[in-house]
Amino acid sequence: MEELKKKDLYNQGYRFVGSHSAVKLCMWAKRALVSDDFCYKQQFYGINSHRCVQMTPSLNVCGNRCVWCWRDIEFTLPKWKGPVDKPKGIIDGCIKEQVRYLQGFRGNKKTNKDKFIEAQMPLHFAISLSGEPTFYPKLPELIKELKRRKITSFLVTNGTNPSMLKKLLKNQPTQLYITLPAPDEETYIKCCSPLIKDGWKKINESLSILKKFKRSTIRLTLVKNVNMIKPEKYAELIKKAKPRFLECKSYMWVGHSKQRLELKNMPLHGEIKEFAKEIGKHSGYKIVDEKENSRVVLMMKNINKDRKLRF
């Protein structure tokens, strides 16, 4: 990566680890330390936002350039190049950089002292910050090492690398997310500008694997006048994949996405709920929770199952 781009990311709060990884203190982790607010994942699944590390082992590798992505997608590469760092070094480095960044909260009068102390000892890795993490060749070993340390993991993938998902079946992350970007191939090509061949085919293959994971989620990042269309088509894909959880979330008009989209492309929470209900009519999934300031709803089909796995 060019030094100018690295400097830009550093100024945004990214901290680099090794050759290809990075960590960035999440907005919700900051809020959790100084207020009573927190990430929707804490409300839905019991994640402690102040003890969560938002990171990526593949900073600039991704097969899509989605129009709603808040990152600078111009520097992403469609395949892995260069060295492959060891998982232990990545985990140690991410925790070290997160803890170092946190020290700025020590002198803030609003900081919750107990949470600040707890935050020095992370319990959770959100493997989702930037790029497509399944392209990191040693991802199964990374998940295994996190488990050994009793650190839970939420892995977020765009589904374009099903071969890695198959490898992860033996060493599963705590929860697997697939971000379903579109209801059909035409919309996918239009809004994701794929850099790889057969992207839609690979996404569908990943969806077919999803049911083999113990805790699985399909997430829809919905953009008005872009991919917030054809709820019945989304429902068809969801019924085939049978995820335990379904999240319908509004695109947020932030970061570099503001150069590609307009404020009017960001749905209101009420619009997300109505779209989710339309999907529910065709899929059998029902809204079981919501967080209005995140513009997100959680849906399930088998509601009687315990959805609040506390970490």
SS (H, E, C) 9-62: HHHCCCEEECCCEEECCCHHHHHHHHCCCCCHHHHHHCCCHHHEEEEECCCCEC
pLDDT at 101 over 50: yes
pLDDT at 131 over 50: yes
The confidence score (pLDDT) of residue 3 equals 80
Q: What is the mean pLDDT of residues 180-185?
A: 97
Residue keyed to tokens 């872009």: 226
Q: Domain extents for the chain?
A: 3-300
Residues paired with residue 22 on neighbouring β-strands, in sequence order: 16, 56
Q: pLDDT for 134-164, tens place per residue?
A: 999 999 999 999 999 999 999 999 999 999 9
Counting residues of the chain whose pLDDT is more than 70, the rounded percentage is 97
Q: What is the mean pLDDT of residues 262-281?
A: 97
Q: What is the mean pLDDT of residues 176-204?
A: 96
14 vs 255: CA distance, rounded Å: 13
Q: Which residues, in sequence order, are CB contacts of 187 under 8 Å at separation 6+?
A: 227, 229, 230
pTM of the model: 0.93
The confidence score (pLDDT) of residue 309 equals 52
Strand pairing report for 15-17 and 21-23:
antiparallel
Q: pLDDT for 13-69, tens place per residue?
A: 899 999 999 999 999 999 999 988 999 999 999 999 999 999 999 998 999 999 988
Closest listed residue to residue 49, CA positions, set 103, 106, 98? 98
Q: Does domain 3-300 have CATH number 3.20.20.70?
A: yes
Q: pLDDT for 64-84, tens place per residue?
A: 999 988 887 777 888 898 899
Q: pLDDT for 298-311, tens place per residue?
A: 999 977 655 555 54
Residue 218 main-chain phi, psi, to 5 deg: -105, 130
86 vs 154: CA distance, rounded Å: 19
At 103, which amino acid appears? Q
Please state the length of the chain: 311
* Contact (Cβ atoms closer than 8 angstroms) between residue 246 and residue 218: yes
* 3-class DSSP assignment, residue 129: coil
The confidence score (pLDDT) of residue 8 equals 85
Distance between start and end Cα atoms, the chain? 36
The confidence score (pLDDT) of residue 311 equals 47
Residues paired with residue 219 on neighbouring β-strands, in sequence order: 179, 247
The confidence score (pLDDT) of residue 75 equals 76
147 vs 143: CA distance, rounded Å: 6
Q: What is the mean pLDDT of residues 281-300?
A: 96
Average pLDDT, the chain: 93
